[in-house]
Each structure stands twice: as C-alpha cells, then as structure tokens.
C-alpha cells in the first residue's frame, strides 16, 4: 500500500495538480486579460486534462471504496486533488460539462468527497462563484472594449 501511496503522490504533484490551472489559464484567464489566445497550448491543456481525468478514473478510483485507492474515507490526496479539479467550476457550464461530463466516476467521487467533508467542502470552495462572476464581467467588458479592471480581483 505504501508503494501505491508513493505513486499517487508523485502523480498528483507532477501532472494532476497543474493540469486544471494550465487549461483554465490558456482557455479562460489569459484571453480575458488581453493576452493572445494560444490555441495550441489550450488544445494541449485540454488533451492533458482529459488524459489525467481518465487516468484518475481508471487507476486511482479503482477499488471497493469511493475514494482514491479504494479507501473508505477521504485522504489528504483526495482533498488536494478535488480542490484542483474544482477549479473547473470557474469555467462556463458548457466547457465544464465538455471536460467532466464523460467522467462519471470523477463526478461521483467529487460528490462523495463533498459529502464526507461537509460543511467544510462548500466553505473552502465558496470563492469559486465570485471568481466565475468576475470572469464573466471581465469578458463582457472586453466585448464592449471597456478594457479590464484588475482591481476587481481583490474583491473575490
């Protein structure tokens, strides 16, 4: 079991923890701040994110329990990984559903982790709706050529 935990830790730090951020930055954040869209990086980020989610489902969520490595209780690895995947909540629903929709085990695992850590899960992730709203407003400003207001991010 210790060998598996070591593999899980290495996987989380090398791939899974950076992938949602890379994808969101290249598809959502950078263009909203006036940076040119790097479509190649966005496509590669989506491809890597999809592969990472598939790996989590097919390997790390195998077993009898609802959590990583088949555990019956969430571990620190579950908590770290779910927080990274929850970053996808700032994307619009269409993009989020496009990425997560085919990953039913991931969605179930997120729900199981949320239920097991309630009410703290919602408290920790309560910032996400305001970030999502700020990104929507920023996008509307960009569309209206009003520029950006970076100070708004202090109000999240």
Give me the mean pLDDT over the 81-88 stretch.
91
For residue 78, give both structure tokens: 């579950």
2-31+39-125: what fold? Answer: Glutathione S-transferase Yfyf (Class Pi); Chain A, domain 2 (1.20.1050)
Three-point CA angle 77, 78, 84, nearest 5°: 90
pLDDT at 30 over 80: no
For residue 66, give Cα distances in angstroms to 7, 72, 78, 96, 116: 19, 6, 10, 22, 10
The H or E element that residue 50 is part of is helix 39-55
Residue that is written with structure tokens 């923890």 in the block: 17
46 in Cβ contact with 23 (< 8 Å): yes
Cα Rg of the chain (Å, integer)? 17
**How many other C-beta atoms are found inside a 10 Å radius of the C-beta of residue 19?**
21
Give me the mean pLDDT over the 40-62 stretch.
87
Rounded to an integer, what distance in angstroms lies between the CA atom of residue 95 and that of residue 99?
6
| pLDDT confidence of residue 149 | 47
**Pairwise pLDDT comparison (72 vs 152), residue with the higher score:** 72
| pLDDT confidence of residue 15 | 54
**Pairwise pLDDT comparison (86 vs 148), residue with the higher score:** 86
For residue 26, give both structure tokens: 């290249």
112-148 pLDDT tens trace = 999 999 999 999 999 999 988 888 887 777 767 654 4
| Mean pLDDT for the chain overall | 81
Ordered by start, the domain boundaries in the chain are 2-31+39-125, 129-156
pLDDT class of 100 with cuts at 50, 70, 90: very high
């Amino acid at each position: 079991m210790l060998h598996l935990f070591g593999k899980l830790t290495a996987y989380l730090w090398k791939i899974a923890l950076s992938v949602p951020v890379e994808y969101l930055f290249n598809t959502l954040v950078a263009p909203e701040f006036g940076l040119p869209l790097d479509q190649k990086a966005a496509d590669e980020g989506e491809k890597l994110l999809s592969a990472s989610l598939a790996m989590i489902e097919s390997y790390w969520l195998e077993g009898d329990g609802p959590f990583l490595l088949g555990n019956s209780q969430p571990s620190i690895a579950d908590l770290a990984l779910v927080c990274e995947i929850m970053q996808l909540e700032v994307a619009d629903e269409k993009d989020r559903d496009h990425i997560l929709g085919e990953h039913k085990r991931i969605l179930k695992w997120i729900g199981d982790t949320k239920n097991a850590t309630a009410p703290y899960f919602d408290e920790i992730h309560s910032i996400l709706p305001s970030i999502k709203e700020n990104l929507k407003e920023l996008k509307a400003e960009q569309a209206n050529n009003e520029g950006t207001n970076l100070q708004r991010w202090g109000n999240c």
